[in-house]
Every structure is written in structure tokens, then in C-alpha cells.
């Protein structure tokens, strides 16, 4: 709580809102609501400010180029060829004199590799795709508001 030069008590939230309104007014940023309405309803004002901040971040992100490389999707023919070679490796491993522990370890690694071949994207690329999808949805929602 702050006391101004007229002896009036002003909450920290009111000061925060006033500064944001002043900043927006000086920089020609419209929050889409009346300044007086914002001053008398802090929760409404905070929500309007949060939306504007999110909108600005999304616009900035949209302008920036994505640092993700495009994913190379293996064609069905290439996948079949890779799986064929993995089968040959499995047959060769069965011919070797290996302990069960070592054989199982190698087969698990081959199986993990085979599963990775069948996926279109790596986990990092899937996360990047999810982020881009969410960003597009959020931008779409922000445009509608």
C-alpha cells in the first residue's frame, strides 16, 4: 500500500495497472477496454493485460523462423528395406555364441531401433510439432477475441 501526495492510499495492484495503462497509452497499444474500467476492476484489467502480452508473444514467435529442421519421413519402401536388414542381423546374432544377457540386450536395441524407424518423427520433433500446433491454436483463439 502506498500513500500518494494527496494522502490517498493506493494498492500495489492499482499502481501496477496504472503504469501498464500509461505505458500502453504512450506507445499506442490498445488493450481493447476503457482505461477507467480497468482502474476500477483490477482482475479484469490483469486479464486484459495478460491476453495482450500473450498476443504479443505469439506475434513475435510467428515472425521468428523456426529453428526446427523439417523431419524426413521414411517411405514404406525404405522402412521395409531397413526391417529386412534388421532381420538379417537378428539371424546372424542367433548364430553367434553369446550369453542370453548379451543377446537380449542386442535384440532390445534392435527392437528399439526398429520402432524408431516406424515413427515419422523423433520425440524432439514431436514436441516441436506440438508446440507449433498449440501456438497456431492460441493465435487463432487470440484473433477471435
pTM higher than the cut 0.85: no
Comparing 113 with 60, the larger pLDDT belongs to 113
Q: Record the cell numbers describing residue 127, joined without a space.
A: 514436441
- Following DSSP, what letter does each residue of 83-131 receive, concatenated? HHHHHHHHHHHHHS---HHHHHHHHHHHHHHHHHHH-SS-HHHHHHHHH
| pLDDT tens readout for residues 83-109 | 999 999 999 999 999 999 999 999 999
Amino acid at each position: 500500500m502506498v500513500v500518494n501526495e494527496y494522502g490517498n492510499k493506493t494498492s500495489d495492484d492499482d499502481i501496477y495497472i496504472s503504469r501498464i495503462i500509461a505505458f500502453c497509452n504512450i506507445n499506442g497499444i490498445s488493450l481493447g477496454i476503457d482505461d477507467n474500467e480497468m482502474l476500477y476492476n483490477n482482475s479484469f484489467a490483469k486479464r486484459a493485460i495478460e491476453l495482450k502480452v500473450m498476443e504479443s508473444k505469439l506475434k513475435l514467435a510467428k515472425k521468428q523462423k523456426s529453428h526446427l529442421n523439417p523431419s524426413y519421413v521414411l517411405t514404406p519402401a525404405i522402412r521395409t528395406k531397413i526391417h529386412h536388414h534388421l532381420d538379417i542381423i537378428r539371424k546372424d546374432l542367433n548364430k553367434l555364441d553369446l550369453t542370453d544377457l548379451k543377446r537380449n540386450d542386442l535384440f532390445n536395441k534392435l527392437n528399439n531401433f526398429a520402432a524408431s524407424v516406424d515413427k515419422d518423427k523423433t520425440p524432439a520433433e514431436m514436441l516441436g510439432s506440438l508446440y507449433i500446433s498449440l501456438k497456431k491454436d492460441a493465435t487463432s483463439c487470440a484473433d477471435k477475441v
